[in-house]
Structure 1
């Protein structure tokens, strides 16, 4: 039986335009992603100075230098979604001729900076922002996607041991493949009903997921590490606790509510010797980068107080796996 300790973990879904291409036109988000590219080094500097372990679940396509390099890295077997609009592979035809746009699709220097920054874990968000619950795709296509992600990461000296499913489409049937392809830990969803089957994304679920960020509508978000199940041939599932919602530029009261909710939950977690798992996308800082970074500093400062008062520890997903399994 492992000893329960208070833990603070952060996982980030690093994807740039690959993460929203099927929802938002790129023309509407150019400044948004330009801000994102500038704010990520600020995050890294903060995490390093405060010794914060962070798991960067990175879309594999971001490792490529350009569209030519991307072409050489893609797997032969691609997802056969019934809805082709979900496929990231169609974007080359749409955007590949305009070299001025490549920074919204490729970030090899930034990926390398993350990999070389102390306390940061380079992880995967699949190669092609792969949707594991969408109709048409297969488990073998998923396997080839993971192999492509591992291959392109290996070029930068990175071994991917943790995974976050895009759009939180957690698929238990694919866990064995994850482990066979080198993944030891995956982020799973909270146990509340409004986090089940995110691919359906019904209005009622979205309302409750949003509301729970401000008011206690769901279950307690933290959990003891001893509750994590170690299963043979499967990666360790590490549930998320809270999504750090983007700054609302018009409603300060909502910003305060969401931030106070996170700080309060962190305190409860520390007192109960439980794990608190915070996550967001780096591009969520794109609309209001200065205010977003100010909020992040408040969260990190609060963690440092909990570290002093209750012995809370910062752990990446890989570190949690190693602690729970004794490796």
Structure 2
């Protein structure tokens, strides 16, 4: 049983357009993702300066240099979703002929920068932003997706040990495959009822998930490391505590509420010797990069105060696994 210590964990879902292709046209997000590419090095500089460990769960397709390189890395079996629009592979036909759009799909230089920055863990968000609870796809297709993600990472000398399920479609039936393909830890969802179903979502669930970012509607967000169970043949599941919602350009009061909620939850976790797990997508900073970075600096500064006052430690997902298994 590990000794409980106060821990601050950050995991990021690095996707670019692969993360929202089935929801928003690319023509509406070009500047948004251009901003995202610029703000990621700023995040890395801040994390390095403040010695903050971060898990970057990265879509495997971002490792490719271009569409030709992408074509050499794709698995033999692709997800056979009943809804064809969910497949990332269809984007090659839609955007592959326009070389000017390459930077919305591929980011090998950013992948390398993340990997080479101290305290950062390169992890996987599956190869093709794979939806593990959607109808039609199979366990073997998921396995081949993970193998493709590990394969394209291995080209750059990386071994991926942590995984975040796209759209938070946490699937317990797939955990053993994760472990067999080298994954030692996965991110799981909070235990609140409004996080139980993220596929066939309801309006009520979405309202409560959004509202809980500003007001206490759910359970306590932090958790002791001793509550994490390491089961034979399965990866360690690490729950999230809070999603850092994007800046609301019209409602400053909501921005302050969400930030203050995070800071107070971090303090409570530090006092209780518990783990606080914050997550977001780098592209959530795309609309208001300066204001988003200002908020992130406030969060990191607050962590540093908790580090001094309560001995709070920064650990990546892999860092938590190593601490528990040491």
TM-score by length of 1: 0.99
Structure 2: distance between partners of 1:234 and 1:62 = 27
Structure 1: distance between partners of 2:78 and 2:182 = 20
Aligned partner of 1:43 in structure 2 is: 43
Aligned partner of 1:197 in structure 2 is: 197
For residues 308-323 of structure 1, the aligned pairs below 5 Å read: 308-323=308-323
Aligned partner of 1:233 in structure 2 is: 233
Structure 2: distance between partners of 1:132 and 1:197 = 12
For residues 140-289 of structure 1, the aligned pairs below 5 Å read: 140-289=140-289
Q: Following TM superposition, by how much is the alpha carbon of 1:178 offset from its aligned partner in structure 2, in angstroms?
A: 0.1
Q: Deviations over 1:49-104 (max 9, x none)?
A: 00000000000000000000000110011000000000000000000000000000
Matched residue SS, 2:55: strand
Q: Following TM superposition, by how much is the alpha carbon of 1:9 offset from its aligned partner in structure 2, in angstroms?
A: 0.3
Structure 2: distance between partners of 1:253 and 1:74 = 45
Matched residue SS, 1:73: coil
Q: Following TM superposition, by how much is the alpha carbon of 1:2 offset from its aligned partner in structure 2, in angstroms?
A: 1.2
Structure 1: distance between partners of 2:104 and 2:160 = 22
- Matched residue pairs, number? 326
Structure 1: distance between partners of 2:111 and 2:243 = 23
Q: Following TM superposition, by how much is the alpha carbon of 1:109 offset from its aligned partner in structure 2, in angstroms?
A: 0.3
Q: Deviations over 1:1-30 (max 9, x none)?
A: 210000000000000000000000000000
Structure 2: distance between partners of 1:134 and 1:305 = 43
Structure 1: distance between partners of 2:204 and 2:324 = 35
Q: Deviations over 1:266-318 (max 9, x none)?
A: 00000000000000000000000000000000000000000000000000000
Q: Following TM superposition, by how much is the alpha carbon of 1:157 offset from its aligned partner in structure 2, in angstroms?
A: 1.1
Structure 2: distance between partners of 1:316 and 1:27 = 35
Aligned partner of 1:114 in structure 2 is: 114
Aligned partner of 1:13 in structure 2 is: 13
Moved over 4 A (4+): none
Q: Following TM superposition, by how much is the alpha carbon of 1:255 offset from its aligned partner in structure 2, in angstroms?
A: 0.1
Structure 1, unaligned runs of 5 or more = none
Matched residue SS, 1:31: helix
Matched residue SS, 1:266: helix
Matched residue SS, 2:72: helix
Aligned partner of 1:86 in structure 2 is: 86
Matched residue SS, 1:230: coil
Structure 2: distance between partners of 1:28 and 1:220 = 37
Matched residue SS, 1:200: coil
CA RMSD of aligned residues (A): 0.3
Structure 2: distance between partners of 1:155 and 1:55 = 20
Q: Following TM superposition, by how much is the alpha carbon of 1:197 offset from its aligned partner in structure 2, in angstroms?
A: 1.7
TM-score by length of 2: 1.00
Structure 2: distance between partners of 1:179 and 1:200 = 27
Structure 1 residue 103 and structure 2 residue 103: aligned? Answer: yes
Q: Following TM superposition, by how much is the alpha carbon of 1:200 offset from its aligned partner in structure 2, in angstroms?
A: 1.1
Structure 2: distance between partners of 1:156 and 1:201 = 37
